[in-house]
Amino acid sequence: MTVDQVNGRPVADPHEAEHFVRQFHRETGRTDSLGARLSAVRREIAETGGYVHTPEELAFGARVAWRNSARCIGRLYWRSLVVRDRRHVTRLDEVAAECGEHLRLATRGGQIRPVITIFGQDDAHGPRTLIWNEQLIRYAGYPSVGKGCTGDPRSLGITWLAMRLGWRGRGGRFDVLPLILQSRDEGVRLHELDPGDVLEVPLAHPELDWFGELGLRWYAVPAISHMRLRIGGLSYSAAPFNGWYMGTEIGVRDLCDTDRYDALPEVGRRLGLDTSSDRTLWRDRALVEVNRAVLHSFDRAGVSITDHHTESERFLKHVAREEAAGRSCPADWSWIVPPMSGALTPVFHRAYDETRPRPDFHLDAEARRRAQGIGVLPDCLCAAEALEG
Ligand code: ARG
């Protein structure tokens, strides 16, 4: 058996492989071919340490990984995921071009569609391709004297890294970051996205005319790009996937978390609220208006977005459908319940299955570090240089 040179492990876990092959045949009604496929996979693993998914297994595995995403409230449409099998693509300029094509297919002028693009599986030497960015589209964050940060503070590390690699950020609040890609042959490379592939929505409010003056905006397509897709004992380290946004992701977390865009103080002031004490609930009131602006602006721009009330009901429908299909639905209450008005939504008032089945999307510590821009140099050096600007 060929084993991993580094840690002496085979590439695919035979038990997981077998479990997946059985699941695939059972759920897709191909029981006739199960025996033959099982022996082929067993043989391949015994001879090479790994095996290769058929295109159908790959597509099924990716859809089930979404179905199993315990933190995702939007799983009702898991079957509709468009799967782009790009396992043969390894050159980084081609990887970057495929990411651009992914965004075009997913965006469709605003009628957003869930898509995943899957690059080559890890082999005995580890990942072939890595995307360092946590999402294909993210805004840069620059250290700034006095204000702490211009742009998205979450991107401070990766912005610093991009600039070390030669990127020239314009220093704005909403500069789209370049992709930072890595392969074994080419090392780490920067690739700019084509601005035409990045749909953005400037934010305005249905009644408050001044809201547009805040200059807030957000991008249309959330495409997670640093998670590892695990199917049947194999690992795909580069497999960016997207859905459409739920308004609160932008309106509560991205724009109003104090360690993100922290928009509430200004919105509260502009609303003329008494901001002297939390007990006036000025933050709660301002938060509602930011979220109305997000939903209104996406609707006005013709860009798909869901709200937390609708999506909570859809999610419970999904849970019921899964149960009707004889499966239970893994879910993490603390992620499923929306970050505002939790108890107004039905998902708040119940408990969920805490098992975590595979196929799944997995975020390992290394990927998190890369997305924070702390993979190349010692952390202390990164932190110090990021602060210096
Ligand atoms: N919460 C993340 C963000 O605000 C996006 C996560 C994925 N969201 C989705 N609707 N598929 O950027």
* Residue among 63, 67, 75, 358 flagged as catalytic: 75
Interacting residues of 29 by C-beta distance below 8 A, sequence separation 6+: none
Q: What span, in angstroms and rounded, lies between the C-alpha atoms of 274 and 87? A: 56
Which pLDDT score is estimated for 1?
44
pLDDT score for 346: 98
Q: Separation of 333 CA from ligand 1 center, angstroms?
A: 17
Is 75 noted as a catalytic residue in this protein? yes
Rg of the Cα trace of the chain?
A: 22
Task: Return the residue whose CA atom lies nearest to atom 2 of ligand 1.
Answer: 249
358: how many CB neighbours lie within 10 A of its CB?
18
Q: How far is the CA of 23 from the centre of ligand 1 (A)?
A: 29
The pTM assigned to this predicted structure is: 0.95
231 with 68: CB under 8 angstroms? no
Cα gap 84→67, rounded to integer Å: 17
- 388 catalytic, yes or no? no
Residues of the chain with pLDDT under 70: 1-10, 375-389
Would you put residue 29 in left (φ > 0), alpha (ψ -120 to 50) or beta? Answer: left
Known catalytic membership, residue 72: yes
- The active-site residue, picked from 57, 134, 249, 322, is 249
Q: Which of the following is catalytic: 57, 63, 67, 72?
A: 72
d(CA 330, CA 359): 12
**What pLDDT sits at residue 10?**
66
Write down the pLDDT at residue 389: 44
CB 200 within 8 A of CB 219: yes
Question: Residues near ligand 1 with C-beta < 6 Å?
Answer: 74, 222, 224, 243, 245-246, 249-250, 253-254
- Going along the chain from its start, the domains and CATH numbers come out as 53-388 (3.90.340.10)
* Per-residue pLDDT, 386: 52
Helix (H/G/I), strand (E/B), else coil: 306 = strand
Q: What whole-number distance in Å separates Cα of residue 280 and Cα of residue 265?
A: 13
What string of DSSP letters covers 85-147? E-TT--SHHHHHHHHHHHHHHHHGGG----EEEE-PPPBTTB-SEEE-SSBSS-B-EEEETTT
